[in-house]
Structure formats: structure tokens, C-alpha cells
């Protein structure tokens, strides 16, 4: 059997109205739009004290593994990689603000992924997706976006701490502020002109300018993949499985559930693969790959793994099958040999990407029915409390509780799904016993 015949048998190219050439182009396009993660993720997790070179390699490996598995097992044009947002939550909140060691934090990510796997196995995942109200889903997504944006602003020095006003504007003439803002506007302008690799271009330009200014030290271009033993298998599964970590584990699990599920539905819908209920072919296999990839990611020493919305860029140029995802995954394996470049990316170069992700995630607030306060208040509370409390967990908790309070207080208790009640009660118990 020739290569064309093998690809046809594996990916059913003709049935999906595509060709191997089109799928390869789509895979390359997707890779170029999301390769920024291999430079940003080590920079963010490095803040938590993790070895950036090792994280670079594991990020490449896990992105390759997840994408290739999605292509081969589910035959879907969806690439996976460590999640932006949850990596910042892990580094700046769980490790930075809460003082949890990164090993225990990785353990929490592992247990969150394990919970997601069990929810998929027992079909609870489908039940939750179908029963969480839109206002809370949007509130969670937007709140994470605001938190990520705040972290980006802080990393660039645009926002600094102030003992009188809590926060203030930083030194607007500093290199980090100017280049952080420049990086953000490069992304925003290029993205508005449909340049798919806007984030990558921004990181390259701001890092290069930083090198010219002496902020960045050139340490080479190519190297063999470094030793990953400093992060591989270092997740502390025992100490992370305790009542005090329950809220963090639940946050990783719930956010990953909505993030990945929503992206899978969005990308497959763009590819014309979903029905009117949002169900797409081999959905079960896709959800299993998603959950198992996050488990592997935590073991390997990287943040929760999720489906990437950037996959839609590949779909837009004709990607329709898992061959696109396989090509993307193979390219992530090749980029492992560029690890010296990851160590060169300064915090302000990644800051623009974080702020831009915040813009994208908060745009969903337009979907909230603001004229209905029983929906608007929970959405606002969820979104606002994440950046103001610097915690995704607290935002989700107060959002679910406020939803129940508003519906009960207005006599519309019949609109509360059992799922929301269960989650709200669990958070009330957590607050009562652990604060």
C-alpha cells in the first residue's frame, strides 16, 4: 500500500473532501499560530521555580503527543498543548500567591485531570457541559481572561503594587513597559488584519529589541533536547491530595473542562463536523485524548493540556481530518532543538501575549443577558472576583453561590439545575471548613 493509500485509510481524506496536501498545509498553519506556547510556557512556569529548559522540552513533547493522539485516535483537526491561563494561574497564584510548591501544584493538576478522566468515563462531563448556565460559563472564561491580563500588565511593569491605592501605573518610560505595550499592539494590529502568526511575530520582535537594548543575552540557536529529569515525574501526588487543595484541584478540573470542551465544539463546528446540538464525530475519543493528555502533561511537568482554538486557523485553510493535527504534532517534535531560544524570551515579551489572550477571553461577556440581573450578577461576580481576589477558585465559588442566591431570591428557583446546586453546596462546605 502506497503512502496515499495509507493516509486515505487512516484519515478518510476523500470522505471529508480534502487531500493530503491540504491537510499538511493546514497542519503547518496551525503550528505557526500556536508555536508561541513553547516560548511562553517555560517563561511562565519558570516563575514557579521550574527549570525553563526542561519545561521547554516537555512542552514540545506533550503538545506533540496530544496533537498526534487526537489525529490518530479521534481523526479530528484539533491540536493540543499546555493551556494559556491555567499555566499563569499555576505559577502566579497557586505557587506565587498561595505558597504551594510547584511539585504539589503539579500534583493538583494531575488529580484535576484524573477527575476529568473519570467524569468522561462516567459521562458526567457531558451532563455538566449541558447543565452549567451560560452566564457562569461566560463568567468563568472572562474572569480568567481578566486575571491573565492583570498578570501580563504586572509582568510588563505597566501595573505595580501601591500601598495606598493597591495598584498604580508603573514607570511608563521603562524598557519593559514600552516593549510590553508594543508587543500587545503588534499582536492586536496584526490579528485584526488576519495575520495568524501575530503572537509569534510579536515575541520575536520584542525579544530582538530587548537584545539590542541589552536586556536579553543570546545563548545560541540549536541544541540537543536537554535533560528533563528536573521536572519529569516530579509531581507530588500524595501531598497534593488533601482537603486544603480541593478547591485548587476542582478549579483546574472545571476550567479545563469548559476550556477544552468549548474549543473542541468550536473548531469542529467551523470544520462543518458538528450537528445542531454541537455533537461531533468521535466525541468520546476526543474527550479521552484530552483528559489523558492533561494527565501526561502533569507527569511530564507542564500545566493542564487543552485543545487550542488556534486549530481553527488550520481549518480555515482546509483542514478537516486528524492528519492536520498529526502534522502539527510532528512539527512540535522538531522545534525541541530550538530550546536556547526559549530562555531568551523576557517577561515583557510574553506579557503582550497574556494581555491579548485576556482580550479574547473577555469578549464572551457580550453573550450575557445583561437585562436579566439573575444572569448578569453571577456573570459579573464570577468574572470580577477572579482578578480582584487573584484566584480562579474564589471566582468560580462565588459565582455559583451568587447564581443560586439570585434565582432563589427572585422566586425563580426552578431554573437552578441540580448540577449548579451540587457545585454551590460543595463550595459552601469548602468555605465553611477551610475558609
Measure the CA–CA gap between 235 and 255, rounded to whole angstroms: 20
Dihedral sign of CA atoms 269, 271, 276, 282 in order: negative
Q: What's the Rg (C-alpha) of the chain? A: 21
pLDDT band, residue 278 (cuts 50/70/90): low
Could you tell me which of 210, 159, 254, 231 has the C-alpha nearest to residue 345?
210
Q: What is the pLDDT of residue 400?
A: 94
Q: What is the pLDDT of residue 389?
A: 87
- pLDDT of residue 374 exceeding 60, the answer is yes
Measure the CA–CA gap between 146 and 395, rounded to whole angstroms: 11
Q: Rounded mean pLDDT of the chain?
A: 89
Measure the CA–CA gap between 331 and 337, rounded to whole angstroms: 11
Q: What is the pLDDT of residues 340-351, one digit of tens each?
A: 776 788 889 888
Phi, psi of 248 (to 5 degrees): -70, -45
Percent of all residues in the chain with a pLDDT value above 70, rounded to a whole number:
97
Which SS3 state, helix, strand or coil, does residue 17 take? coil
SS (H, E, C) 38-68: HHHHHHHHHCCCCCHHHHHHHHHHHHHHHHH
Q: What is the pLDDT of residue 277?
A: 58
C-alpha cell at 45: 512556569
Q: What is the pLDDT of residue 53?
A: 87
Amino acid at each position: 500500500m502506497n503512502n496515499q493509500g495509507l493516509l486515505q485509510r487512516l484519515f478518510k481524506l476523500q470522505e471529508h473532501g480534502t487531500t493530503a496536501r491540504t491537510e499538511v498545509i493546514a497542519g503547518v498553519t496551525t503550528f505557526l499560530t500556536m508555536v508561541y506556547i513553547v516560548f511562553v510556557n517555560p517563561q511562565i512556569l519558570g516563575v514557579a521555580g521550574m527549570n525553563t529548559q526542561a519545561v521547554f522540552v516537555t512542552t514540545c513533547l506533550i503538545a506533540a503527543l496530544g496533537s498526534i493522539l487526537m489525529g490518530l485516535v479521534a481523526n479530528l483537526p484539533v491540536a493540543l498543548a499546555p493551556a494559556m491561563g491555567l499555566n499563569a494561574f499555576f505559577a502566579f497564584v497557586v505557587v506565587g500567591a498561595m505558597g504551594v510548591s510547584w511539585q504539589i501544584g503539579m500534583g493538583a493538576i494531575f488529580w484535576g485531570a484524573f477527575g476529568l478522566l473519570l467524569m468522561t468515563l462516567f459521562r458526567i462531563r457531558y451532563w455538566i457541559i449541558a447543565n452549567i448556565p451560560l452566564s457562569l460559563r461566560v463568567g468563568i472564561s472572562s474572569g480568567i481572561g481578566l486575571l491573565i491580563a492583570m498578570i501580563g500588565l504586572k509582568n510588563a511593569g505597566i501595573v505595580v503594587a501601591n500601598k495606598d491605592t493597591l495598584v498604580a501605573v508603573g514607570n511608563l518610560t521603562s524598557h519593559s513597559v514600552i516593549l510590553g505595550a508594543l508587543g500587545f499592539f503588534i499582536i492586536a494590529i496584526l490579528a485584526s488584519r488576519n495575520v495568524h502568526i501575530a503572537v509569534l511575530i510579536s515575541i520575536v520582535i520584542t525579544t530582538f529589541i530587548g537584545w539590542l537594548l541589552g536586556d536579553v543575552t543570546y545563548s545560541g540557536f540549536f541544541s540537543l533536547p536537554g535533560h528533563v529529569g528536573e521536572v519529569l515525574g516530579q509531581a507530588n501526588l500524595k501531598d497534593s491530595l488533601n482537603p486544603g487543595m480541593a478547591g485548587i484541584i476542582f478549579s483546574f478540573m472545571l476550567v479545563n473542562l469548559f476550556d477544552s470542551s468549548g474549543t473542541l465544539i468550536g473548531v469542529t463546528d467551523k470544520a462543518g463536523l458538528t450537528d445542531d446540538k454541537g455533537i461531533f464525530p468521535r466525541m468520546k475519543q476526543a474527550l479521552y485524548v484530552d483528559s489523558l493528555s492533561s494527565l501526561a502533561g502533569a507527569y511530564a511537568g507542564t500545566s493542564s493540556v487543552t485543545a487550542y482554538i488556534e486549530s481553527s486557523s488550520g481549518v480555515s485553510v482546509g483542514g478537516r481530518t486528524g492528519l492536520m493535527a498529526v502534522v502539527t504534532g510532528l512539527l512540535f517534535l522538531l522545534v525541541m532543538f530550538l530550546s536556547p531560544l526559549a530562555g531568551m524570551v523576557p517577561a515583557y515579551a510574553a506579557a503582550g501575549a497574556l494581555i491579548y489572550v485576556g482580550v479574547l477571553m473577555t469578549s464572551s461577556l457580550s453573550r450575557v443577558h445583561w437585562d436579566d440581573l439573575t444572569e448578569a450578577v453571577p456573570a459579573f461576580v464570577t468574572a470580577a472576583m477572579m482578578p480582584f481576589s487573584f484566584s480562579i477558585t474564589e471566582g468560580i465559588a462565588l459565582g455559583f453561590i451568587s447564581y443560586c442566591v439570585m434565582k432563589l431570591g427572585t422566586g425563580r428557583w426552578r431554573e437552578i439545575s441540580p448540577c449548579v446546586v451540587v457545585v454551590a453546596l460543595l463550595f459552601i462546605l469548602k468555605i465553611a471548613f477551610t475558609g
